[in-house]
Structure 1
């Protein structure tokens, strides 16, 4: 397990549940078609962060209480599968040859196998959930929202947008994934807004971490800057008109990219302050809508620390 989540798992006492999750995914891979099994083994390795399944478990404990059921383990496993589908697609879109120091699936096995594997992952996820209409509805909605969010984010590249626009993008990209985590864990809508805010917080901490040069949580700082993606630091940096003009250019030079990057670093204190507000809003949701908010407050605290390492 990635050390990003190991401390949270220990704090919350979810080691047995994480073992069950890994066993579930391992059994699925072992039973999968031999043509794609090496790709799945490559993608679902021991370095996964499992932050999203952890959120499923945390929301279950905060709202429902009691044992983490086999049903919830399955839901968390399928959610992790959907997440990995997005990683495969993102790596292809970003032309990334590595993720966390390891070759990406398309770099190791080729573009066509990677694309086919991403579809295989989603199809098997729906098959696993076939007898659970609640989960099927959530996963179908998630996949559609993620597709719309990715297209919108790409369409809105190099545009003179602001922090409110970033919030909308982050809320539909990472936020929709964490909303789904919350609803899977509680099997109702009570913590949906908490999940959205936690996802936005995670997304923003990733943005800030990329600018600081920290180990990426899932994005790609250099690729985002090159492609004109609206990250939180970029949204703040382009409040300066001269930087906005450079950001909106179709093909900025290396020198111009360096100027944008410098302004983004200068605006990091403002980005951190904005993340503090999102964390505060998430904490309010946790206290208001759960009987055991401490587990959710721990998730918020650990998420918030991701950009401060």
Structure 2
């Protein structure tokens, strides 16, 4: 299977510059704060979100991309990293991408402050782009990230959670950043409102597909491949698409969830029920539908290497399941 790194070949040099700039952009005066904020930048993430920004930028610009496009990609990665630091505190996760999380290395207080610091830094650089529409788009992302965390916290072990509510939460937590930053890249390129809307919906559907696939892999992957314990979402009461579909076929599963897997073998029984159901297959179909929609929204773009990479990326996200 083609690696995600190979898909980003049109912006390989751009990502190399981004990596060099991120540590300089953090610029924290206190060594501990800098070390905490820098921790995830060194964790070897795929940098999916800034790569999408750079690919959209190149797909919508007739010439070379501008310094503002590059800064937007850097801001996008800073916002994403800040959200990961806070997520790990809330989820009490010990590992992220196979390495110790910021809070497990530096403590909760430093982790929360580091996340806040990255959000503040990204907002400052965002304001300095001097484009009000882009400021509004990325500011909305920060609001959505908080909304998604609140919704997830309030719906723990809630077997009555609807698929629509799950997708809304997934949009807030994952797809909003991809959707709004894709649109913002187009805005900086001066595209038409219609094309900007297509770019937004490309990012929205791609982000939803990405989250659904991640949620499937939580049941089909291993701790080694996931970089975190398998089935960690279900264990913490975060009910995702495979669980919600399985609940339609397995009434007893609701009982196990309602008592929060209190009995010793409850979690294993729940996992067996999900595997026996059509929940994973139906979730695959749902992810496939969103990748199909994402690719359709790229038809507004002129043919280019970057447009092809954006289309291939949608296919790659789905192929992670096989």
TM-score, normalised relative to structure 2: 0.86
Flag the 1:4–1:258 CA change in 2: closer, same or farther, 3 A.
Answer: farther
Is 1:88–1:106's contact at 8 Å kept on the other side of the alignment? yes
**Aligned residue number for residue 34 of structure 1:** 30
**Aligned residue number for residue 301 of structure 2:** 290
1:41 shift after superposition: 2.4
**Aligned residue number for residue 137 of structure 2:** 138
Matched, 1:238 2:247: yes
CA distance in 2: counterparts of 1:254 and 1:181, whole angstroms: 44
Matched, 1:277 2:289: yes
Which 5+ residue runs of structure 1 have no aligned equivalent? none
Matched, 1:304 2:318: yes
CA distance in 1: counterparts of 2:240 and 2:111, whole angstroms: 27
- Find 2:215's aligned residue among 202, 207, 210: 207
TM-score, normalised relative to structure 1: 0.90
**Aligned residue number for residue 89 of structure 2:** 92
Is 1:4–1:49's contact at 8 Å kept on the other side of the alignment? no
Q: Which structure 2 residues correspond to residues 218-229 of structure 1 after superposition, within 5 A?
A: 221-229=230-238
CA distance in 2: counterparts of 1:307 and 1:73, whole angstroms: 31
3-state secondary structure, aligned to 1:173: helix
Query: Which stretch of the first structure deviates more once superposed, 84-93 or 179-188?
Result: 179-188
**Aligned residue number for residue 102 of structure 1:** 99
CA distance in 1: counterparts of 2:111 and 2:52, whole angstroms: 27
Flag the 1:254–1:56 CA change in 2: closer, same or farther, 3 A.
Answer: farther
Alpha-carbon RMSD across the aligned residues, in angstroms, is 2.1
3-state secondary structure, aligned to 1:270: helix
CA distance in 1: counterparts of 2:108 and 2:181, whole angstroms: 29
CA distance in 2: counterparts of 1:276 and 1:54, whole angstroms: 22
1:251 shift after superposition: 4.5
Flag the 1:190–1:268 CA change in 2: closer, same or farther, 3 A.
Answer: closer
Is 1:191–1:285's contact at 8 Å kept on the other side of the alignment? yes
Is 2:43–2:99's contact at 8 Å kept on the other side of the alignment? no
**Aligned residue number for residue 192 of structure 2:** none
1:216 shift after superposition: 2.7
**Aligned residue number for residue 58 of structure 1:** 55
Is 1:5–1:50's contact at 8 Å kept on the other side of the alignment? no
Is 2:198–2:297's contact at 8 Å kept on the other side of the alignment? no
Query: Which stretch of the first structure deviates more once superposed, 166-175 or 191-200?
Result: 166-175
Is 2:8–2:309's contact at 8 Å kept on the other side of the alignment? no
3-state secondary structure, aligned to 1:189: helix
Q: Which structure 2 residues correspond to residues 153-168 of structure 1 after superposition, within 5 A?
A: 153-159=152-158, 160-168=160-168
3-state secondary structure, aligned to 1:190: helix
Is 2:213–2:320's contact at 8 Å kept on the other side of the alignment? yes
CA distance in 2: counterparts of 1:221 and 1:141, whole angstroms: 31
Which 5+ residue runs of structure 2 have no aligned equivalent? 188-195
1:4 shift after superposition: 5.9
